[in-house]
């Protein structure tokens, strides 16, 4: 029997790729105004994201996504100083301001997919709903404050999908067994392999494809159901509940 349905956030409930791109583009414009010159003129929003990725690699013990964003912008400014010079203390303050601006721009647009609210409304009377995310978007920031009984972020527990430990956090919070849980998400490793290895069932949402799941190299796990829209989820869960 399915008791709890947990959702991934990014690219499952909302279009994070869009809001991230828009937020980084806005911050890049602010950076060019604050530090005009050839370096920032040539900079792309993708470079800002690459510098954030570099910060993740350089600081494996940092779990706070806000702190990692600050460190990413600081890395960008460090690269600029190496070419054009500048004041390090001023850049530290600027990196903090850029991170604040990034999160402001990121969260002012909920970017919910059109099928998100109808799906949650259809499920809330039948299942205990939750958010299980490696991200940091708060449900109340995107109009979903009343839907989730459990909200679990990797950064708060210092364990991330696909690690079994983060699935156990949900089980403890809700008091449910793994076999009673379903994770709905778009990521083949984090959401499908992670859920299956934790003893959960997995529903893979393939928003951009035809719903043909190809197992990852070295992995045998398959989702228990595949949907291309959350409109299909209530029916898929009903079928799973009978199996």
pLDDT at 102 (0 to 100): 98
Task: Give CA–CA dist 3/194, Å, rounded.
Answer: 19
pLDDT at 171 (0 to 100): 98
pLDDT at 29 (0 to 100): 98
pLDDT at 37 (0 to 100): 97
Whether the full predicted model's pTM is greater than 0.85, yes or no, is: yes
> Can you list the alpha helix ranges (DSSP code H) found in 85-163?
88-107, 116-123, 154-157
Q: Superfamily for 4-15+111-242?
A: HAD superfamily/HAD-like (3.40.50.1000)
pLDDT at 71 (0 to 100): 98
Question: Cα angle vertex 13, ends 66, 141, to 5°?
Answer: 45
pLDDT at 243 (0 to 100): 75
Query: How many C-beta atoms lie closer than 10 Å to residue 41's C-beta?
Result: 8
Is residue 125 exposed (0-12), middle (13-18) or buried (19+ Cβ within 10 Å)? exposed
Query: Where are the domains positioned within the chain?
Result: 4-15+111-242, 16-107
* CATH number for the domain formed by residue range(s) 16-107: 1.20.120
Is residue 15 classed as helix, strand or coil in its secondary structure?
Answer: coil
pLDDT at 163 (0 to 100): 98
Q: What residues of the chain score a pLDDT lower than 70?
A: none
pLDDT at 170 (0 to 100): 98
3-state secondary structure 51-74: HHHHHHHHCCCCCCHHHHHHHHHH
pLDDT at 234 (0 to 100): 98
Task: Give CA–CA dist 203/115, Å, rounded.
Answer: 16
Task: Give CA–CA dist 177/158, Å, rounded.
Answer: 22
Give me the DSSP letters along 171-222: HHHHT--GGGEEEEES-IIIIIIHHHHTT-EEEEE-TTS-S---PPTT----
pLDDT at 20 (0 to 100): 98
The DSSP symbol for 127 reads S
């Amino acid at each position: 029997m399915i008791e709890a349905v947990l959702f991934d956030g990014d690219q499952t409930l909302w279009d994070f790729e869009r809001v991230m791109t828009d937020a980084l583009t806005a911050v890049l414009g602010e950076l060019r105004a604050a530090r005009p010159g050839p370096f920032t003129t040539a900079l792309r929003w993708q470079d800002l994201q690459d510098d954030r990725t570099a910060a993740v690699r350089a600081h494996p013990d940092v779990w706070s996504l806000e702190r990692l964003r600050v460190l990413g912008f600081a890395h960008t400014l460090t690269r600029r100083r190496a070419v054009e010079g500048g004041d390090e203390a001023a850049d530290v303050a600027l990196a903090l301001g850029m991170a604040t601006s990034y999160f402001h721009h990121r969260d002012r647009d909920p970017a919910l997919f059109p099928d998100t609210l109808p799906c949650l409304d259809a499920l809330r009377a039948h299942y205990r709903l939750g958010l299980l995310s490696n991200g940091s978007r708060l449900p109340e920031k995107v109009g979903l404050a009343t839907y989730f009984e459990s909200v679990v972020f990797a950064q708060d527990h210092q364990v991330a999908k696909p690690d079994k430990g983060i699935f156990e956090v949900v089980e403890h919070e809700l008091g449910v067994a793994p076999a009673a849980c379903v994770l709905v998400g778009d990521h083949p490793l984090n959401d499908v392999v992670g859920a299956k290895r934790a003893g959960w069932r997995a529903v893979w949402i393939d928003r951009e494809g035809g719903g043909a799941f190809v197992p990852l190299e070295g992995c045998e796990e398959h989702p228990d159901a595949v949907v291309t829209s959350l409109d299909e989820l209530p029916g898929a869960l009903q079928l799973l509940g009978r199996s």
